[in-house]
């Protein structure tokens, strides 16, 4: 699908809105590089493939960022697994991926779980804390 090239400081980053060419091993390594464990192999790739929208960032053929969203297309959307490889962080890649997901998802409410320390990043994109959120986890 469509790719968009954007120049950051010294490199051109290409963004894809699909999972074509995305390898589970590269995806797993990307999350591990940012200390986001639990995103394992084929399982994390399947999660990206089944998501309504993805935005994936490449420097050449190197995977440097990923993000995905689930939505009903009308009221609700949830953004998950936003990550930028260390060394590429702080150059606008995360913001661009988020903006692409938000653009494609014009719904009433979009939610996400911010990792500790990442709240300011999401706040800059218009997200606010929500006090009455509840969640149930499998054992």
Judged by the rule CB under 6 A, the positions of this chain that interact with ligand COA are 34, 36, 82-84, 89-95, 114-115, 117-118, 120-121, 124
Cβ 125 to ligand COA, closest distance in Å?
A: 8
Pick 35 or 74: Cβ nearer ligand COA: 35
Cβ 88 to ligand COA, closest distance in Å?
A: 7
Question: CA angle at residue 19 from 53 to 121, to 5 degrees?
Answer: 50
Number of residue whose CB is nearest ligand COA? 94
Nearest to 30 by CA among 84, 110, 78: 84
Largest interatomic CA distance in the chain: 45
Residue 21, by phi and psi: left (phi above 0), alpha (psi -120 to 50) or beta?
A: left
Pick 14 or 89: Cβ nearer ligand COA: 89
Q: What is the CA radius of gyration of the chain?
A: 15
Cβ 89 to ligand COA, closest distance in Å?
A: 3
List residues bridging with 112 in a β-sheet: 79
Cβ 43 to ligand COA, closest distance in Å?
A: 18
């Amino acid at each position: 699908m469509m790719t968009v090239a954007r120049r950051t400081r010294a490199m051109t980053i290409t963004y894809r809105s699909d999972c074509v060419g995305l390898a589970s091993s590269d995806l797993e390594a990307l999350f591990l590089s940012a200390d986001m464990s639990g995103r394992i192999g084929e399982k994390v790739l399947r999660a990206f493939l089944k998501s309504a929208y993805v935005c994936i960032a490449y420097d050449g053929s190197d995977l440097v960022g990923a993000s995905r969203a689930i939505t009903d297309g009308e009221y609700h959307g949830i953004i998950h697994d936003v990550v930028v490889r260390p060394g590429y962080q702080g150059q606008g890649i995360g913001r661009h991926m988020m903006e692409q997901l938000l653009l494609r998802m014009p719904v009433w409410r979009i939610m996400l779980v911010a990792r500790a320390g990442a709240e300011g990043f999401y706040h800059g994109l218009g997200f606010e804390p929500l006090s009455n959120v509840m969640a149930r986890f499998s054992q």
